[in-house]
Structure 1
């Protein structure tokens, strides 16, 4: 049940008719509510129409299938949707889940590093802003308490803030080319540059124990890699 609707949705998806593909995937879900393929593909169709919140809900449903291959791909695409919405912390967690289920996924590793580096920069920027705000408040209190200050003296000017590094914000590629995908339940196809399980575990451990290591390894931010296509 639902296979014909999924196949029809895939044809529409490949033609760029994403809203119509979405309707077919919904029909497949009505026919086979427990199928993980229909919500995964529906998430992709919604992603392409910038319906990121609804896409995330579809990916979350697909990620609960219990099939490691489907789950890994759903977590990966969920990470991309979260990243696109600048929800960096949950995006990092989604890429981690994808790697735990498929340690050989080099794209998940790449995107995890990109999202994590940006999250660290975002947190550092917020910390700097909080410190500047606190300094401004202390300065205002000091000026209010100094009634004898020479009115003719010029107040000190704040230090110029440094401009952030000019880095383009990476966005998931919306025009990835079709590629063969593994059948649900099968082993992921090996890809050039894939990770071993040990490498993936070391990466996850490094992020948990020494967040600065990722930034030391990556000095430039590269675009995140595209979402997985429908089955």
Structure 2
């Protein structure tokens, strides 16, 4: 965490030349009072002094940066980032200080759980100061958090898909029409059975015909006998 306050710099002194003498003194006084209060961890009081300095000179890099630190200490993440961004708009000559501002912006975004933006802020800090191991460590931590988050999301999606599929399968089974009960097909008659049945039928017909013929023969015999008797009677 890069929350060290910035001392009154040459840049601030040069900018102060454009201000009235009384205003210059007031800015320097408030920045120094703010630094003292910050070192005593009186962050709300320190912010008041830095804010007073900014009222005299809104373009004070030190007042903007240090105000961002006090806001960060008070967990005012959005406001702290505004102060750091204002500082970055003013500071163009000191890459290490600019890197520190981006580092702190990354920390603020991390506190807000905005991991992707936090990662980009740390990358900006490393571009300004590639040798910053603390920023490099924070970047690795955030990248691991993003990777874990993506894996958790994928697992949740897979679990949801499995649950949906399990719920859908019984419904599909209910929607499918029931298969009709299989009807028992009549047994096929073998050739031998068919031949035997045909022979039995032919035998029955033969016996029946023989009986009919026998009856007819008896009837003819009776008629012949009757005719012979009549002939005798005559």
TM range (shorter): 0.5 to 0.7
Determine whether 1:30 maps to 2:55.
yes
Match of residue 143 from structure 1: 170
Could you tell me whether the CA contact under 8 Å between 1:62 and 1:70 is conserved in 2? no
Q: Which runs of 5+ in 1 are unaligned?
A: 150-231
Could you tell me whether the CA contact under 8 Å between 1:22 and 1:46 is conserved in 2? yes
Match of residue 93 from structure 1: 120
Match of residue 211 from structure 1: none
CA distance in 1, matches of 2:96, 2:43: 24
Match of residue 120 from structure 1: 147
- Say which of 38, 53, 78 aligns to 1:53: 78
| SS of equivalent residue, structure 1 residue 63 | helix
TM-score normalized with structure 2 length: 0.59
Q: String of CA shifts for 1:33-69, please: whole Å, max 9, x gaps.
A: 1222212111110111111221122222222232323
- Say which of 10, 20, 25 aligns to 2:35: 10
**Once superposed, which parts of structure 1, at least 4 consecutive aligned residues long, lie more than 6 Å away?**
none
RMSD (CA atoms):
1.8
| Larger gyration radius, structure 1 or structure 2 | 2
Determine whether 1:43 maps to 2:68.
yes
Q: Which has the higher contact order (CA 8 A, sep 6+)?
A: 1
CA distance in 2, matches of 1:9, 1:54: 17
- Say which of 86, 93, 105 aligns to 1:78: 105
Determine whether 1:130 maps to 2:157.
yes
Matched residue pairs, number? 149
Could you tell me whether the CA contact under 8 Å between 1:63 and 1:72 is conserved in 2? no
Match of residue 66 from structure 1: 92
Could you tell me whether the CA contact under 8 Å between 1:82 and 1:91 is conserved in 2? yes
CA distance in 1, matches of 2:153, 2:87: 34
Q: String of CA shifts for 1:16-35, please: whole Å, max 9, x gaps.
A: 11011111111121222122
CA distance in 1, matches of 2:82, 2:154: 32
Greater displacement, 55-64 / 2-11: 55-64
Q: String of CA shifts for 1:158-211, please: whole Å, max 9, x gaps.
A: xxxxxxxxxxxxxxxxxxxxxxxxxxxxxxxxxxxxxxxxxxxxxxxxxxxxxx
Match of residue 111 from structure 1: 138
Could you tell me whether the CA contact under 8 Å between 1:36 and 1:70 is conserved in 2? no
CA distance in 1, matches of 2:96, 2:56: 22
More helix by share: 2
